[in-house]
């Protein structure tokens, strides 16, 4: 699955079909974020819901190629901490 351009609440309707298709996959779902330039929390919520549903089916959600600003959003909202989510690349060290 590829998510590109700008994704926010206004574009959430165009995500419905790809997310539905992803739920029917028989393997882990890989999301290519390399061409995603902007996202808001509505995308993170959609990905979190997808991850929860995949986990219930014994599968994982892999997030690949996130630009630094998207990676920061993923980490800020904690999406990468969900049990069924894997974020490629190094994660920052924990700080309190």
Whether the pLDDT of residue 94 is over 90: the answer is: no
Backbone dihedral angles phi then psi of residue 32, each to the nearest 5 degrees: -85, 115
Whether the pLDDT of residue 18 is over 80: the answer is: yes
Fold of the domain built from segment(s) 5-87: Transcription Regulator spoIIAA (3.30.750)
58-85 pLDDT tens trace? 999 999 999 999 999 999 999 999 999 9
Sheet holding 29-32, edge to edge: 29-32, 61-64, 85-87
Provide Rg for the chain, Cα atoms: 13
CA gap 40, 49 in Å, rounded: 15
Q: Does pTM top 0.85 for this prediction?
A: yes
Q: Are 54 and 86 in contact (CB under 8 A)?
A: no
Whether the pLDDT of residue 95 is over 50: the answer is: no
Q: Which pLDDT band, with edges at 50, 70 and 90, does 96 fall under?
A: very low
40-61 pLDDT tens trace? 999 999 999 999 999 999 999 9
């Amino acid at each position: 699955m590829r998510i590109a351009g700008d994704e926010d609440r206004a574009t959430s309707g165009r995500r419905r079909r790809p997310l539905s298709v992803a739920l029917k996959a028989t393997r882990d779902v890989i999301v290519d974020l390399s061409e995603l330039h902007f996202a808001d929390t509505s995308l993170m919520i959609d990905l979190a819901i997808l991850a929860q549903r995949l986990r219930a089916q014994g599968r994982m959600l892999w997030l690949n190629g996130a630009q630094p600003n998207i990676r920061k959003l993923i980490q800020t909202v904690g999406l990468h901490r969900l049990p069924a989510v894997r974020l490629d690349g190094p994660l920052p060290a924990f700080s309190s």
